[in-house]
Structure 1
Amino acid sequence: MATFTLRSDSFEDGQVLPAAQRGAATGPGGRDESLPLHWSGAPAGTRSYAVTVFDPDAPGHGGFWHWAVLDIPADVTSLPAGAGSRHGGGLPLGAFQLRNDGGSAGYLGAAPPKGHGPHRYVVTVLALNVEKSGLDAGASPAKLEAKLGPHVLARASLTGIYERH
């Protein structure tokens, strides 16, 4: 699978997620604010992007989807902090959010169970060869990979860590 570059102004790959990207219930500073993201180097033929945030260490079956944004136009190569608000007002025209595994639209900050150990929050940007994902806002993020898999040209990812004591 081809790759390209993804970075965030709020943390480096493998570092602790800042308080703003944590769940509001986790304590001071937790704001459920989506990460500022910037990407570059996607392959020719990219017609749209999808962005996801997934915790593979969450208890239960299959981890926990914190955020999924689809149909980001190919000429967009960044999202500002907070673009994933519940109403998606910071998203580019045409992009939309799926419900997270908490049941609401928008970014749901990191909030692992106390004492569960460190959790990885994998941020992924997919470069797709289609303009529209074919999914709607009611789709489950878990279905996203199967639906988009045949259309992925390249992926970029970085991982933030958070442990709740």
Structure 2
Amino acid sequence: MRIHSDSFENGKPIPSEFALGAPGGFGGNRNPQLAWSDAPAGTKSFALLCIDTDAPTDGALVANADVPIPVDHPRGDFVHWVVVNMPVDMTEIAAGSCSSGVTKGGKGPCQGEGARQGLNDYTGWFAGNAEMGGQYFGYDGPYPPPHDLRTHRYFFRVFALDVASLELPKAFTAGDVLRAMQGHVLAEASTYGTYSISG
């Protein structure tokens, strides 16, 4: 199975129109175009995850903009997009079709074309923030700390599943999806882009 994007080249920088954060403020926060092909026989649906694997693990360090975050600082995952139950004939997502612009407090549950979108990790990141707090469903793009010296990688992973739908709660996470997919993944394809707003 293969996946590609017309919005960025594999392993190359993601344009700021597809990022939540940009130098000096917000980016365009449009979801990138993605298309996939060559799913194996028996595929009944697709699932998609977008994960930043270079997220800093120390919140206090992230909050202190006066101290650069070293390249070798311990890293973890930050989920930017979760989509499940995409029908087998849905093999492309158009740029800007799921997100276009910043919605403070989150976009709310996004349904369409039979697919369901889950919570991304901005839900937890903005928890308790009077201006930004809320449930962040669907796509919200890269916003690495401006003082992070590491360029972040954003992996877009599509899974071909042998079931038409996954049993998930209304507000589900990437962790819920990974557990529900166990034993049902026929194939996976991935591509990644990079992003940094470090001066």
> 1:140 maps to what in 2?
173
Return the alpha-carbon distance in structure 2 between the equivalents of residues 143 and 5 of structure 1.
24
CA contact (8 A) 2:109 2:117 kept: yes
Partner letter of residue 12 of structure 1? E
1:127 aligns with 2:160: yes
Partner letter of residue 17 of structure 1? I
Count of aligned pairs: 161
> 2:182 maps to what in 1?
149
RMSD: 1.9
CA contact (8 A) 1:98 1:136 kept: no
Which structure 2 residues correspond to residues 1-165 of structure 1 after superposition, within 5 A?
4-24=1-21, 26-27=23-24, 30-60=27-57, 62-85=76-99, 86=107, 92-103=112-123, 104-116=136-148, 117-165=150-198
Return the alpha-carbon distance in structure 2 between the equivalents of residues 127 and 106 of structure 1.
19
Return the alpha-carbon distance in structure 1 between the equivalents of residues 21 and 28 of structure 2.
5
CA contact (8 A) 2:54 2:77 kept: yes
Return the alpha-carbon distance in structure 2 between the equivalents of residues 50 and 26 of structure 1.
32
Return the alpha-carbon distance in structure 1 between the equivalents of residues 138 and 112 of structure 2.
14
Misfit runs of 4+, over 2 Å: 24-29, 83-89
Unpaired runs of 5+ residues, structure 2, are 58-74, 100-106, 124-135
Moved more, 24-33 or 14-23: 24-33
Partner letter of residue 172 of structure 2? A
Return the alpha-carbon distance in structure 1 between the equivalents of residues 138 and 6 of structure 2.
20
Tell me, what secondary structure is at the counterpart of 2:183?
helix
Return the alpha-carbon distance in structure 1 between the equivalents of residues 23 and 108 of structure 2.
22
Percent of aligned positions that are identical: 38
Tell me, what secondary structure is at the counterpart of 2:17?
helix
Partner letter of residue 119 of structure 1? H
Moved more, 136-145 or 25-34: 25-34
**C-alpha distance after superposition, 1:91-139 (max 9, x if no partner):** 6421011011111112111011113110000001111000001113311
Return the alpha-carbon distance in structure 2 between the equivalents of residues 114 and 151 of structure 1.
39
Unpaired runs of 5+ residues, structure 1, are none
Tell me, what secondary structure is at the counterpart of 1:125?
strand
Tell me, what secondary structure is at the counterpart of 2:3?
strand
Moved more, 79-88 or 151-160: 79-88
**C-alpha distance after superposition, 1:34-53 (max 9, x if no partner):** 11111110101000001111
CA contact (8 A) 2:52 2:78 kept: yes
Partner letter of residue 38 of structure 1? A
**C-alpha distance after superposition, 1:39-78 (max 9, x if no partner):** 1101010000011110011012741000001100001110
CA contact (8 A) 1:97 1:137 kept: no
